[in-house]
Structure formats: C-alpha cells, structure tokens
Structure 1
C-alpha cells in the first residue's frame, strides 16, 4: 500500500488553475525558438541541479553548475561537490530525453535503479542502483540520535517500488499532473529504496512525471530550485515529517503535502515566468546596444549572461556562439577593451563579468528584486 492521492478542495483547484495559466503563457513564449533560449534552459537546469544538491549539503553556485554542465572546471566547487553535481546532471539530462520518448516508455523498478546509478555511480561502495539491504532512519535535525522517520523494512522495498511503478503507469490518471508528480515524490522518498540519494531521486522523479505528462519542458517545470532555498528546505522537511509520520504510515492524510507542492509550483512558475520576461527584455536591449556600436550580434552570447549577473567563460561563449577558439578570444578581448566585460581570475580560472560601461539600464532591470505572491492567500 502506498500513500494515497487526496481529494482536492476548491482552493486547491483555484491554485492549480493559476499554475496552468502561467504554464500556458510560458508555452506561448516558447512556441517560437529564440536565440536566447538555449542559455536560458541551461541556466534553469543549473538552478534546479544546484537547488536539489544544496538540500543534501552539496552546495555549489549556479555558475559553477553551468561550468560543470558544459565540461568546464568549476571555479569554487570542490571535487566532492563536482562529482555530486555531475551525477545529478547526468540523470537530469536523461530525464530531459525521456520527456520526448514515445509510447513505448514505461515506468519500472529497473528505470528507477538506472536513474539512481546515473546519479550515484561515483559512490560504488554504497551500491548505486541496488536496493538497500538494511534499515533507514531519517534523523532529527536537532538531535541525530533521534529517528524522525523510519522507512519500511528492506524486504518490503522491491514490492513497494514495483507498486509505485505500477501506479505511475496507470494509477490516478484523472488526477492533475502536478498532483501525480507530487505523490510520486512523496512515495519514493517515504520508501527510501537506496542507501543514499533518495531525496534527490524523489525530486528527479517528480520532474520526470511532469515531463512525461507534457506539462512543460523539464527545465521549466521542476521545483528543485525553490526547494533548495533555505527557508523552503526547512518547510520541506517539516511537511514530510507531518505527512509521512514517524514510521511508514500510508494511511495518513497527504493533503498538506499536496498543498505544499502546489505552493512550490506556483511560486516557481512565477519566478520562471519573470525570468523568461527579463531574458527577452535584456536580450532585446543588448541587441539594440550592440547594433548601435556596430558590433557583431554573436557577442550577445557573451553579454547576456554578464548582464544577468552571471559570469562568462571563454569556452562557453565559444560553444554558444559556434566560434573558433581564436575568434572567441578576440571577441572577449574587444568587449573587455570596450568596458562591457571585466576580466576576473587567472589562467584556467579566468572568467568575465559585466564591465563598468555595459549600459546600466540593462543590468539594473535584470537584477531588480520582486516579491513572489502567496497562492493560498486571497482565495
């Protein structure tokens, strides 16, 4: 028996409708391919990867994650953190591919174990891709000697995971996709099938369900970034403890968990919608500024991340703009001389940020903070 999908109330349906409206607008924005879309998708994926790993104590900056994604050595992340990020990146890349798989796709225990091996394969002593053989206790944040949650006995894991796969393929198909994804997340983390990596796997499965349901591309639909913010992480653990109970208790009410996830999706959708809008406006403003200066428009691929407050690496610019190494170097040097980029670091650690002469109106708009609306207020 798994934790069961709850009945929704009118307020939950109203929040779902607002999320759907934001997703519809996002799909409209993405219907026509834009030159900035690739960089935006990479940044959103990096934010998701950084958020999910931060929850587990493997903190890396979004720029470092982007570097790892494109094969560059990160500036700050340790080798240990880099290995964790690379594993999660590999699993997320496969999830993005599975979003486009045809009708032959099916959930299975084997698929979950394969994703777990992609994510945790660098920990061979922890038997990635194999069920745990012993008990699992999630300890209290205040006192590690206290078990805040005890997972089901190891002998039950294969059967419960098979039941979850069966439910994913055919259970509660009339429930909204966000609700099904949230329930998949809850049940996998509650079963805790592996010795390590259960939280990250559960969040990745959440994103995979949304991707397979066609909600929107995985990089635009997940809540890993939102969950990785400190205050939200505390709430995440609290609601899992409230709903999951001190031991495996699938008869408990799961509505608080669904409401937590709907709030996360609503606020993440707000943030993504804002980022898409800002990206479009910043790219357009940079395009006009580059044209006025008589510079080639390929330089937008270097200027855009700098204007958004991120760093630029020569190799990444070279790949994004499809240039030779020499041409990329010349462009970067020209932008530094013009004061539109500023060089930081040395040798292999060299990177570039917004320079003092990059039009201030462009960078200020990209960095202006705005509040997120609470979806369950006002209904």
Structure 2
C-alpha cells in the first residue's frame, strides 16, 4: 500500500516535539545568513545572488541526471533580473531552469496556484519534445511509476495516484499549502511545512516530468514565505552531495502517513543547506577582499589561475592546485610557472604544502580577509 491509498490520506502525522530544537536552529541560522549577507557590498549583491541561484539551478537539474553549463545558466539569470547578459549559446533547458528559479525568487510571497505550477512546468519543459502534457497535470491512463531501470527487472520505488485524480489531489495540496503559511488558517513552523510540502507534492507526482525540481522549488518557496524574504538557500546543492540518502529517505516514507523520520531528515538537510549558504557568502566576501588586497600585484597569468581557482568555488581544486594544473591553465613554460607560483606564495596570495611532485597550492583566504 502506498501512502495515497490510505483512507486517511493526506492527513500526515508526526511528533512535533522531536522537531522543536531543529526549528529553533533554523531561525538562528537565518539570522546568521542575514548577518553574513550584510558584509557583501551593495554592488556585489546582484553578483552573489546570481552565483547562489545558478548553483541551485545547476544542482537541482543534476539531481535528475541533467548536466547544465553554469556559465550559460548565469547568463540567462542575469537577463531574468535585468542585468547585462549574453543570450547566445544558451540552450532551452538552461534558459528554462533559470527562468523558473528567477520566478521563484521574484514571486516567493505570492499564494501558490495551479497557474504558477503550470508556468514553472512550461519553463522547465520548454525544450522537451517527448512530454505530451506541458504546462498541465498528467492525463495519460497508464500508472505513473518511479523506477530504477535495472536490466531484466526494473525496481519500482513508487507508484503515484492515477491521472484522473490529479485535479482533486492538487486542489487539496494547494489549499493545504496556502492555509499552512505563516499568515494562513493553519500555520506551521518553517521546517515542518517545507518537509511536508516536498513529500506531499512528490507523492502526488502531478506532472509527467519535472516533479523533483518543482518539488524542491516548492520547499524553497515555503521557507521563503515563512521568513518573509528569498532564502537563497543551497538546498539542491546540499541534496545533490548526498543524493542517495535523499532518494532513500523519500522511498522509506512513501508508504505511511507517519512521517516524523522524514521531517527530521529533511530538517537536517535544510540546516546543512543553511550552513552551506553562509559558508558560500563568507567565501564570496573573502574573494572580494582577496582581490582588493592583490589588485595590481598579479600578472596576467597569475590572474587567470586565481580566477580559475575561485571558479571552482568553496570546495576548490581537490587536493590543491598542482604545478601541472597551473601549466594547463596558463599554457606557459615550466620555468615561468615555477617563478609565478613562488611569487604568489611570497606575496601571501597562495599557501604551499608538500614537496616536489606532491607540492600543492591553495588560495590564502586568511582570517583578516574573512568576516
């Protein structure tokens, strides 16, 4: 029996006391994010917003096995927010996810409606030539299965409600979502509401495709509504790093209406995502201060290597930058590379570890460069 076959569906039950400490931590972390964001200069906030949203767009697609180009998604996002951007070479999938994420950011406070979900689905599926129902709930008579295509005997993880129930199911979902908002008829705490919203939506599985991405967007919208502002939270980024645990948690909780374990898992994921977001903001601040400190002191080759290292993001080059990495980035002689790297260490831009072929270099984002 799947949860939607239970006669009490969709009356989820859970132990709210086991979530109280997590809800309190969420509010504290939200304050920490605001504090970190205040250290970003006004001119840099648009750039940071684009970086954070593009990372979410790329990662929420990657969870579903779709690999997008981050630079193209960022170009599309800049256009969505009225900033300068080059629209050339952006494919439909990259433009679609960027458009949806920008719409989520702009309309986070609007009540959830069928049309909002239809708009998001049209954006996501704009380049798809195989989906019949784009911008509408599924209508095909065949059961909607979530499966892993194992050779010989596919593994069925979930069977969703039949298509003829979609209008009724989604009417109920949208009513519940809006009523559970902070100013709704039956308000719920932030983590509890976001967790239920995500599980509830993906168990209905109302679209032919795109349910995971829209479900995560709904969770982010829920958090933003409860906070009264866009969260810029690294939720998809965090889920993608432990994708297997995410799918296992969904599968463990699609057969019963008691979902305390799911809510604890999802709340923990949101808290981790908040910390990841704060770390990324701190990294951006440190990056800005790094460039202030070394402005005019780096040659063209060094600037190119530093920019490449920053583009790797907060995780950086795995194991650090090697001399071979530097050669590949700059296309120069080994002697010149050795001299460049030594200069970067001496001026305090890089730290050096290891010896000989095990030598590695990292950006020196010292304490004075941090918040």
What TM-score, normalized to structure 1?
A: 0.70
1:304 Cα deviation from its structure 2 partner: 8.3
CA contact (8 A) 1:5 1:183 kept: no
Aligned match for 1:360, one of 350, 353, 358: 350
CA contact (8 A) 1:308 1:366 kept: no
CA-to-aligned-CA distance 1:142-191 (integer Å, 9 cap, x gap): 46633221000111111111101001111374321122122111111111
Partner of 1:132: 138
Greater CA radius of gyration, 1 or 2?
A: 2
**Mapping for residues 1-379 of structure 1, pairs under 5 Å:** 1-2=9-10, 4=12, 6-10=14-18, 12-31=19-38, 34=41, 35-60=43-68, 62-63=70-71, 65-70=73-78, 71-72=85-86, 82-99=91-108, 101=109, 105-123=110-128, 125-126=130-131, 127-134=133-140, 135-140=143-148, 142=150, 145-171=154-180, 173-214=186-227, 216-219=229-232, 221-229=233-241, 232-245=242-255, 251-290=256-295, 293=297, 306=308, 308-310=310-312, 359-360=349-350, 364-365=363-364
What TM-score, normalized to structure 2?
A: 0.72
3-state SS of paired residue (2:253): helix
1:13 Cα deviation from its structure 2 partner: 1.9
CA-to-aligned-CA distance 1:245-278 (integer Å, 9 cap, x gap): 2xxxxx5211121111111111111211122222
CA contact (8 A) 1:50 1:62 kept: yes
Change (3 A) 1:145 1:160: same
1:243 Cα deviation from its structure 2 partner: 0.4
Measure, in 1, the Cα distance between the counterparts of 2:27 and 2:270: 10
Q: Any unmatched runs of 5+ in structure 1?
A: 246-250, 296-300, 312-338, 345-354, 368-379
Q: CA RMSD in A?
A: 3.4
1:97 Cα deviation from its structure 2 partner: 0.6
1:302 Cα deviation from its structure 2 partner: 9.3
1:15 Cα deviation from its structure 2 partner: 2.5
Measure, in 2, the Cα distance between the counterparts of 1:224 and 1:180: 17
Measure, in 2, the Cα distance between the counterparts of 1:147 and 1:179: 28
Q: Any unmatched runs of 5+ in structure 2?
A: 1-8, 79-84, 314-325, 332-339, 352-360, 367-371
Measure, in 2, the Cα distance between the counterparts of 1:278 and 1:243: 36
Measure, in 2, the Cα distance between the counterparts of 1:156 and 1:237: 25
CA contact (8 A) 2:136 2:207 kept: yes
1:288 Cα deviation from its structure 2 partner: 2.4
CA contact (8 A) 1:116 1:128 kept: yes
Measure, in 2, the Cα distance between the counterparts of 1:198 and 1:183: 15
CA contact (8 A) 2:13 2:257 kept: no
Change (3 A) 1:118 1:218: farther
